Chain A
């Protein structure tokens, strides 16, 4: 996709929003210009920014934790048929469960604060990364492993030069596929037992203060966060897994 095409798409969507707002003509659908003004004001005042950073921090911490824990487990399971045979039925059963239904349970167990929110996003990313890294590691050609062993590589060098780099695209694909879901579920989680985060901000402005432009500014911030994270992963993929895109 070219940048110019993206810009046109943004303009087209803003145009549709503008026309809709004009047609509906109700406080529950403010125009994009009103929302933009509120957005900037709320960012400058620090009000929105504070909730934005709270949400972003939760996403980033749980992403790091998910990579740090799921990737090594995926690598081990991908290399060992025996261990994989042992654990894959469990993963097979847990993987498709929509983690969002566990939100109430996690909140009951871990109460208020950041931790339960981090746990929920972690669960979503964990299984996605685990499964993709495991499959990447399991699908490495035995010829490749044997060639590198014949160059003198033992277990440690194989890990460093074959399994580790082979898992990087798996991690990035998992993030790209699930970061949107993670942000969506974060929104749900932030509706309860917290006074920080964009989910709280959107809900509070929408249903308690009835400040619709602020609510929309919150939605915009959450959308930008999702989009920004998606672009960041995309950018990383092109940088550190460039070989996938050449032809």
Chain B
């Protein structure tokens, strides 16, 4: 699904964030990218989203080099992603509106796109049906992120990128949305890449965890977490051990 080939990236003439970096994400995999602030994890996500471009090397998605944001890639950011002047319903419709604005040109919208604004099932599914007419500033942090998720999933993405999506939420809301993300990943057969600085979040959401350290990132450190989506994983020893292990590895870098 995603292939990074000897990728290098630096901001302007600054020091490289990535250098000769290789990484492969398979179809339907759930990845967490874990690292401290400044390690380049958000940069990596923006590279995957087609909002930034490598200094050298390539980002391939479905075998094709990425030259612009790809219609079937969804991106959810930590905050400020919603239009403050639009209601929940209008925000959820935004992606479909943008697609209808251009029509199915294969560049801004997939060729097979049928213009529609049908977001009601998603608002229903994400528990937003009663909040349709509210504006973002009337919502809680969790409800805002649900709206962002509805907006993205209404576009039927096959690759979902999330940047610290639940970082600013309180613990119960965060767990709730993490569980929702796993459910959605499962039922929509998504490929998921989540960027986080929280060890617990990486352990919950990543079936595979890519560990980044202080730049430049050259080697690809991957930790497998196959039991991630099993029942009561949060309570299990596997989870606790993984968290401990990740903490050690992060400190060792």
Q: Does A162 contact B (CB under 8 A)?
A: yes
Supposing A153-B108, A157-B102 touch, asked if A146 and B95 sit within 8 A by C-beta, the answer is no
Q: Does B80 contact A (CB under 8 A)?
A: yes
Query: Could you list 9 further interchain pairs (A-B, Cβ under 8 angstroms) beyond the known A149-B51, A152-B69, A243-B86?
Result: A141-B79, A143-B79, A144-B81, A144-B82, A144-B83, A146-B75, A157-B101, A161-B94, A169-B85
Number of interface residues of A (CB under 8 A): 25
Residues of B at the A interface (CB closer than 8 Å) are 46, 49, 51, 69, 71, 73-86, 94-95, 97-99, 101-102, 108-109, 134-135, 137-138, 148, 151-152, 155, 161
Chain A residue contacts of B151, Cβ below 8 A? 151
Number of residue pairs spanning A and B whose beta carbons lie under 8 angstroms apart: 85
Chain A residue contacts of B98, Cβ below 8 A? 148, 151-153, 157, 161
Chain B residue contacts of A168, Cβ below 8 A? 85
Q: Does A81 contact B (CB under 8 A)?
A: no
**Which among B71, B81, B82, B148 is the interface contact of A152 at CB below 8 angstroms?**
B71
Q: Does A241 contact B (CB under 8 A)?
A: yes
Q: List 22 A-B contacts (CB under 8 A).
A: A141-B80, A143-B80, A144-B80, A147-B77, A147-B80, A149-B51, A149-B69, A150-B51, A150-B69, A150-B73, A151-B98, A151-B151, A151-B152, A151-B155, A152-B95, A153-B108, A161-B98, A162-B83, A165-B85, A165-B86, A243-B137, A246-B135
Question: What are the 4 A-B residue pairs with the smallest beta carbon separation, nearest first?
Answer: A150-B75, A147-B81, A141-B80, A143-B80
Q: With A and B bound together, what is the CA distance between A178 and B51 in angstroms? A: 40
Supposing A143-B78, A149-B51, A151-B98 touch, asked if A246 and B137 sit within 8 A by C-beta, the answer is yes
Judge whether A147 and B135 touch: CB under 8 Å.
no
Q: With A and B bound together, what is the CA distance between A59 and B102 in angstroms? A: 38
Q: With A and B bound together, what is the CA distance between A165 and B97 in angstroms? A: 15
Q: With A and B bound together, what is the CA distance between A143 and B86 in angstroms? A: 16
Judge whether A146 and B51 touch: CB under 8 Å.
yes
Residue of A nearest to B135 (CB): A243
Q: With A and B bound together, what is the CA distance between A131 and B78 in angstroms? A: 30
Residue of B nearest to A166 (CB): B85
Judge whether B99 and A152 touch: CB under 8 Å.
yes
Judge whether A247 and B77 touch: CB under 8 Å.
no
Contact with B along A25-44 (1 / 0, CB 8 A): 00000000000000000000
Judge whether A165 and B83 touch: CB under 8 Å.
yes
Supposing A143-B81, A150-B51, A150-B74 touch, asked if A247 and B108 sit within 8 A by C-beta, the answer is no
Judge whether A147 and B75 touch: CB under 8 Å.
yes
Q: Does A154 contact B (CB under 8 A)?
A: yes
Residue of A nearest to B109 (CB): A152
Residue of A nearest to B87 (CB): A243
Supposing A243-B85, A243-B135, A247-B137 touch, asked if A151 and B79 sit within 8 A by C-beta, the answer is no
Max chain A CB contacts within 10 Å: which of B79, B81, B135? B81
Q: Which residues of A125-175 have CB atoms within 8 Å of chain B's CB atoms?
A: 141, 143-144, 146-154, 156-157, 160-162, 165-166, 168-169
Expressed in whole angstroms, the minimum distance between the Cβ of B61 and any Cβ of chain A is 13
Max chain B CB contacts within 10 Å: which of A148, A156, A162? A148
